[in-house]
């Protein structure tokens, strides 16, 4: 997603900003740029593509100066071109970077065009540069210019501006998009993600909605939405400087697939009390207050939520509904019977999920955040945080964060089941023991790349593929389809196996791959009947099952097995072949595995 960076210090600003942009690279973007000020002159460099394009440009034409701003762009308004890349400049005097959407940009643009302003880009953001320029031309100070600009714009934004007239400062503001200020003795920096500046400082101020600030070396002058001086707390963040190496793997995604045993075992530890019980970090009375849950999330996190619903209802008998976050607050949901909103987000910054959290909070629900990035907005602003301990996830397609989310959801179901008296201590211990076997099972599942290679070869030649499953393996089938389409651009859909006959079966023709997750349970017989229906119509059947079920579908073209596990653990263990299938198919097709086209790691627009 768009990321912004700013720096005021003693080092060459372009170098520091470029380094920080690299640390945001995992978020996914299509162009980037930097602007600096030196000796009263504004310098700008922008490039389409990866940071290395910008870096190569800067190697030939470096930008001087110790004050600078930078941006990685994920196109919203206007195509992927150098002119649409940030920073945007007005009159050679002001440069801005912006993350978010200026909703009333068309009106502002129309007003400015009448006043004689010439626009160079198709973006909504460019109006900001002209608004600052207009304010400075009218003799405004940095604080007054910020107030004037903010009084005119509507929407979600984190922005930073530099101006020739004020060569020693950055002007920044935020509303609904994250922005943090990093402080140390000899520099001040800003970033939309604390991780991007963790190598510079861990002392951070998170600006609140409506805040604006003027930042000079060693100081940050902050004002609130009412333009009053604001004292914001300085916190020490735990964000580790982003690891940018692939640890010998070809892609971050491959590395992250291999990190799942650790991610799960670290997450199980976080969910286990000192006495060795799965409590998900809750006191009993807090568990008792959870009576009706709505799970809100996007993308892969949404599918984790759907699996979580099966577990929480089955194990704890607590009603759960699951919704895509982007729909929730706009459909006038009836919230009265709900006690708890469970937000699931790897990044903790998806705007749809954040807004759903705010809505649920305002409706009086207690908010629980299952979040992987510890200092993210959702982690900071939900009432209770259930951390996934997957570590930084760089590949845009979520892998280890997904299985860590499942680990938390299963732990929560067990903790609730025990609190409700539906699980005896012995039964809870048995489930705990099953969970403790997960890191080993997943370690083995991860070692089966070679078994999956022929399937990936097959999928890489297909136009379309269908994924089926029943129970918790139905949402897993949807997640597997999402992975395949986002990474390899092969059209893929997931269906409940029993639902295929109600429509999707019309799409089955000779040679269409149908990949089915067959779980170790009674329903497997029904699932196999559904597969027969597909096979009878020409589908090439591919089965994912456990080792001891390996001959269960004798008409399968390929069978991939995972280590034997119980029905409850199956979605966690079977997530691994789903990930590897998508990864190997994408590798075979030569697509950009870590940064698939058009996608962003964390989407901070609606
Ligand atoms: C983006 C990513 C998806 C991710 C979704 C939710 O769309 O491309 O991979 O699942 O956001 O992200 P979150 O960080 O909230 O889990």
Task: Give per-residue pLDDT as tens, 16-41.
Answer: 999 999 888 767 678 999 999 999 89
Taking residues 410-438, what's their average pLDDT? 94
Nearest to 578 by CA among 497, 485, 464: 485
Ligand 1 center–CA 426 separation, angstroms = 37
Share of the chain above pLDDT 70, in %: 98
Question: What is the three-class DSSP state of 312?
Answer: helix
Pocket test for ligand 1, best of 28, 406, 602 (most atoms within 8 A of CB): 602
Strands (E), 429-539: 464-469, 491-496, 513-517
User: Where do the CATH 3.40.50.10490 domains begin and end in the chain?
Assistant: 251-436, 447-606
Q: What is the DSSP string of 286-319?
A: HHHT--SEEEEE-HHHHHHHHHHHHHIIIII---
Contacts of 60 (CB under 8 A, 6+ apart): none
What's the pLDDT band for 194 if we cut at 50, 70, 90? Answer: confident
- Residue 599 Cα: closest atom of ligand 1: 8
> Which residue's CA is minimally distant from atom 15 of ligand 1?
345
Q: How far is CA 288 from CA 20, 282, 343, 420, 426, in A?
A: 44, 10, 19, 8, 20
Pocket test for ligand 1, best of 346, 370, 376, 406 (most atoms within 8 A of CB): 346
Q: What is the CATH number of domain 447-606?
A: 3.40.50.10490
Taking residues 292-304, what's their average pLDDT? 98
Whether the full predicted model's pTM is greater than 0.75, yes or no, is yes
Taking residues 360-366, what's their average pLDDT? 97
Ligand 1 center–CA 300 separation, angstroms = 6
Question: What is the three-class DSSP state of 319?
Answer: coil
User: Which residues line ligand 1 at a C-beta cut-off of 6 Å?
Assistant: 298-301, 345-347, 350, 353, 396-398, 599-603
Taking residues 541-549, what's their average pLDDT? 96
> Which residue's CA is minimally distant from atom 3 of ligand 1?
299
> Which residue's CA is minimally distant from atom 9 of ligand 1?
397
Distance CA 574, CA 480 (A): 10
266 φ/ψ angles, rounded to the nearest 5 degrees: -65, -35
Distance CA 576, CA 388 (A): 18
Q: Which residues are catalytic?
A: 2, 601
Q: What is the CATH number of domain 3-248?
A: 3.60.20.10
User: Where do the CATH 3.60.20.10 domains begin and end in the chain?
Assistant: 3-248
pLDDT for residue 247: 66
pLDDT for residue 523: 86
Ligand 1 center–CA 530 separation, angstroms = 31
Nearest to 528 by CA among 295, 520, 297: 520
Taking residues 110-115, what's their average pLDDT? 96
pLDDT for residue 475: 98
What's the pLDDT band for 240 if we cut at 50, 70, 90? Answer: low
Q: Mean pLDDT over all residues of the chain? A: 92
Least reliable range by pLDDT among 94-98, 99-103, 128-132, 384-388: 99-103
pLDDT for residue 3: 87
Ligand 1 center–CA 283 separation, angstroms = 30
Could you check whether the bond before residue 408 is cis, i.e. omega within 30 degrees of 0?
Answer: no
- Please state the CATH superfamily assignment of the domain spanning residues 251-436 in this structure: Glucose-6-phosphate isomerase like protein; domain 1 (3.40.50.10490)
Ligand 1 center–CA 345 separation, angstroms = 7
Q: Which two tokens stand for residue 594?
A: 């870590």
């Amino acid at each position: 997603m768009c990321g912004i960076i700013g720096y005021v210090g003693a080092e060459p600003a372009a170098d520091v900003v470029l380094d920080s942009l690299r640390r945001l690279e995992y978020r996914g973007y299509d162009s980037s740029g930097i602007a600096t000020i030196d000796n009263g002159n504004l310098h700008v460099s922008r490039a389409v593509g990866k940071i290395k394009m910008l870096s190569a440009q800067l190697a030939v034409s470096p930008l001087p100066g110790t004050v600078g701003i930078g941006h990685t762009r994920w196109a919203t308004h206007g195509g992927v071109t150098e002119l649409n890349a940030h920073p945007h400049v007005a009159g050679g005097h002001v440069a801005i970077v912006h993350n978010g959407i200026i909703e009333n940009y068309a009106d502002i643009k129309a007003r400015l065009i009448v006043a004689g302003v010439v626009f160079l880009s198709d973006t909504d953001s460019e109006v900001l540069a002209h608004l600052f320029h207009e304010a400075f031309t009218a003799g405004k100070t940095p604080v007054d210019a910020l107030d004037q600009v903010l009084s005119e714009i509507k929407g979600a934004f984190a922005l930073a501006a530099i101006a020739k007239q004020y060569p020693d400062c950055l002007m920044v503001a935020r509303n609904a998009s994250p922005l943090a200020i990093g402080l140390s003795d000899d520099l001040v920096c800003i970033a939309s993600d604390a991780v991007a500046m963790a190598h510079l400082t861990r002392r951070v101020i998170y600006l609140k909605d409506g805040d604006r600030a003027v930042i000079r070396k060693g100081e940050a002058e902050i004002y609130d939405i009412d333009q009053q001086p604001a004292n914001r707390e300085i916190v020490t963040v735990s964000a580790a400087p982003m690891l940018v190496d692939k640890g010998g793997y070809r892609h971050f995604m491959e590395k992250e697939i291999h990190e799942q045993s650790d991610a799960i075992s670290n997450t199980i530890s976080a969910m286990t009390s000192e006495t060795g019980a799965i409590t998900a970090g809750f006191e009993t009375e807090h568990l008792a207050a959870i009576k009706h849950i709505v799970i809100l999330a996007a993308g892969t996190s949404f599918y984790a939520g759907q699996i979580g619903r099966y577990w929480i209802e089955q194990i704890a008998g607590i009603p759960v509904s699951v919704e895509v976050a982007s729909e929730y607050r706009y459909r006038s949901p009836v919230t009265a019977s709900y006690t708890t909103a469970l937000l699931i987000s790897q990044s903790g910054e998806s705007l749809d999920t954040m807004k759903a959290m705010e809505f649920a909070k305002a409706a009086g629900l207690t908010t629980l955040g299952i979040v992987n990035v510890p200092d993210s907005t959702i982690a900071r602003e939900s009432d209770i945080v259930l951390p996934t301990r997957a570590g930084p996830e760089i590949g845009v397609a979520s892998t280890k964060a997904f299985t860590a989310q499942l680990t938390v959801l299963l732990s929560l179901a067990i903790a609730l089941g025990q609190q409700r008296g539906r699980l005896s201590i012995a039964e809870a211990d048995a489930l705990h023991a099953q969970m403790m076997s997960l890191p080993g099972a997943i370690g083995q599942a991860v070692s089966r790349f070679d078994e999956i290679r022929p399937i990936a070869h097959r999928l890489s030649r297909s136009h379309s593929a269908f994924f089926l499953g029943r129970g918790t393996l139905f949402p897993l089938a949807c997640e597997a389809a999402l992975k395949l389409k986002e990474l390899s651009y092969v059209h893929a859909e997931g269906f409940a196996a029993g639902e295929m006959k109600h429509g999707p079966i019309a799409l089955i023709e000779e040679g269409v791959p149908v990949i089915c997750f067959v779980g170790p349970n009674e329903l497997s017989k029904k699932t196999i009947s559904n597969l027969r229906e597909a096979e009878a119509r020409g589908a090439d059947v591919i089965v994912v099952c456990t080792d001891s079920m390996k001959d269960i579908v004798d008409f399968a073209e390929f069978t991939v097995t995972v280590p034997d596990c119980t029905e409850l653990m199956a979605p966690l263990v079977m997530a691994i072949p789903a990930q590897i299938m998508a990864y190997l198919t994408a590798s075979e097709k030569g697509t950009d595995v870590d940064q698939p086209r058009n996608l962003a790691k964390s989407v901070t627009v609606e």
